[in-house]
Structure 1
Amino acid sequence: MRLDKFLAHHLGVSRTIVNKELKAQKVTVNGDIVKSGAYHISPDQIVEYDGFEIVPITKNRYFMLNKPQGYVCSTDDPEHPTILYFIDEPMPEKLHSAGRLDLDTTGLVLLTDDGKWSHRITSPKHHCEKVYQVTVEQPLNANLIEIFRQGIQLKSEKTLTEPAKLVILDDYHAELTISEGRYHQVKRMFAAVNNHVIQLHRHQIGNIILDIPEGEYRPLTQDEINSFK
């Protein structure tokens, strides 16, 4: 592979910037300074930029992030900062979220560059359960447990939601487990029973439980990755 193509790919910059860095003698191959982008490298050669080795990305990557409010689950947005702000990894723009959260919703986001893996989470046919911690405006009644279990008719929807598990923690707090991913589903479910969600936090997806502080991220364990394979 050409050196300039290798650097542009793994540094996430244009070839114009790569050529400037090459001319500035910031790139070495097996310890020797190389200034030509046309130089061809082999897989066994060590490429360093500014003293740091560039390790080729050959395996899929899997992360969990505890998303704060005010960030969108996309790689590019002209109006709002994206969750990639928190990801200190090579080529973060290659990652995507396996199931998005709203701008004002916090909690667990799974990020990967493995499309088949994320499809197992987001595809309706797999019925992946998601657990949310919900704070509402009006007091919660015990009869809502059965209403949510039977399914709720959302506005502009033709079918009821799939059965959901509602656990009432106190008058204004509950835990809700759903197995779908309809648009703004949790908020719309509570709106359908004349209540308003004022705070929403996703705590769990499948068997993966959020266990890191807000704004932090970590790689998934192999067991967590395998739970969706």
Structure 2
Amino acid sequence: MRLDRYISECTELSRANAKKALHRGDITCDGVVVKNSGFKVDKDCEVHLSGERLYHVSSRYIMLNKPADTVCSNVGEAGYPSVLTLLDLPKAETLQIAGRLDADTTGLTLITNDGQWGHRITSPRKACNKRYRVWLAEPLVETAEAELAEGIQLKTETKPVLPAKLERISDTEVLLTITEGKYHQVKRMFAALGNRVTALHREQVGDIKLDEILKPGEWRELTPEEIGSV
């Protein structure tokens, strides 16, 4: 990898500003000042910027416990900040969010710079399970399990959504597992059952479960096992 690109990906510096730092002599590679932006950095090279060691992470896989009143986009929308502002990482705004949640929905959000990995989560063809804890305004109808398992028809859709699994915690609290990610899908599914969602929290995507130790707004890197499960 070119040295200017390496610096840019490890810091908040643009490629142009990385080149300026190089020309000033601020960069050392294995203890030697390097000013050539095209210098090739290998995986064993120790790069320092003004004496501080830089560490390059080629791929990132992050679990975030999304708080309410944030949006799953690379920039803020409708007065809400992006969830990416919660990540204390260089170039966080360039990462991809694998599956959007509404501003008022909380819970497991997966973030990566590996486009193929993210696609396996979001592609309808992959049928990746997403489990939500749902709180409802009214007691759930007795036929809800059967109707959702059969595939419920949503307004404005031309065909029913795919079958979903419902686990009843109480008449107003349930766990719902779906394999799609249509616009406001969970809320629309319960609206079709004559009910209204009052709170929504995503607990699991595929085999990746939200880490219980993460408070709203906190995040961690995924383990190799979690990454490989997708």
TM above 0.5, yes or no, is yes
Give the superposition deviation at 1:25: 6.4
After superposition, what is the alpha-carbon deviation per residue over 1:175-195, rounded to whole angstroms, capped at 9, x for unaligned?
111111111100000111121
Give the superposition deviation at 1:5: 4.3
| Alpha-carbon contact 2:85-2:92 (below 8 Å) kept | no
| Alpha-carbon contact 2:22-2:37 (below 8 Å) kept | no
State TM-score, norm by structure 2.
0.86
- Which residue in the other structure is 2:51 paired with? 51
| Alpha-carbon contact 1:142-1:168 (below 8 Å) kept | no
After superposition, what is the alpha-carbon deviation per residue over 1:5-46, rounded to whole angstroms, capped at 9, x for unaligned?
442333132345446656876544433556x56573543542
Farther off after superposition, 71-80 or 171-180: 71-80
Q: CA distance change for structure 1 residues 47 and 178 in 2, over 3 Å: closer, same or farther?
A: same
Unaligned runs of 5+ in 1: none
Specify the SS of the correspondent of 1:188. helix
State TM-score, norm by structure 1.
0.87
| Alpha-carbon contact 1:130-1:178 (below 8 Å) kept | yes
- Which residue in the other structure is 1:81 paired with? 81
Name the CA distance, whole Å, in 2 between partners of 1:37 and 1:8. Answer: 14
How many residues matched? 226
Q: CA distance change for structure 1 residues 152 and 92 in 2, over 3 Å: closer, same or farther?
A: same
After superposition, what is the alpha-carbon deviation per residue over 1:87-143, rounded to whole angstroms, capped at 9, x for unaligned?
223332332111111111000011111111111111111111111001111121222
Name the CA distance, whole Å, in 2 between partners of 1:83 and 1:226. Answer: 24
Specify the SS of the correspondent of 2:190. helix
- Which residue in the other structure is 1:72 paired with? 71
Give, as a single letter, the amino acid of the residue that structure 1 aligns with 2:12: G
Identity %: 45
- Which residue in the other structure is 1:183 paired with? 183
- Which residue in the other structure is 1:61 paired with? 60
Q: Give 1:17-166 correspondences, 5 Å limit.
A: 17-18=17-18, 26-32=26-32, 36=35, 38=37, 40=39, 42-43=41-42, 45-58=45-58, 60-77=59-76, 79-166=79-166
How big is the alpha-carbon RMSD for the aligned residues of Structure 1 and Structure 2?
Answer: 2.3
Specify the SS of the correspondent of 1:77. coil
| Alpha-carbon contact 1:75-1:96 (below 8 Å) kept | yes
Give, as a single letter, the amino acid of the residue that structure 1 aligns with 2:136: V
Q: CA distance change for structure 1 residues 124 and 41 in 2, over 3 Å: closer, same or farther?
A: closer
Give the superposition deviation at 1:153: 0.8
- Which residue in the other structure is 1:217 paired with? 219
After superposition, what is the alpha-carbon deviation per residue over 1:142-169, rounded to whole angstroms, capped at 9, x for unaligned?
2211111111110100111111111221
Give, as a single letter, the amino acid of the residue that structure 1 aligns with 2:85: Y
Name the CA distance, whole Å, in 2 between partners of 1:116 and 1:182. Answer: 20
Farther off after superposition, 127-136 or 10-19: 10-19
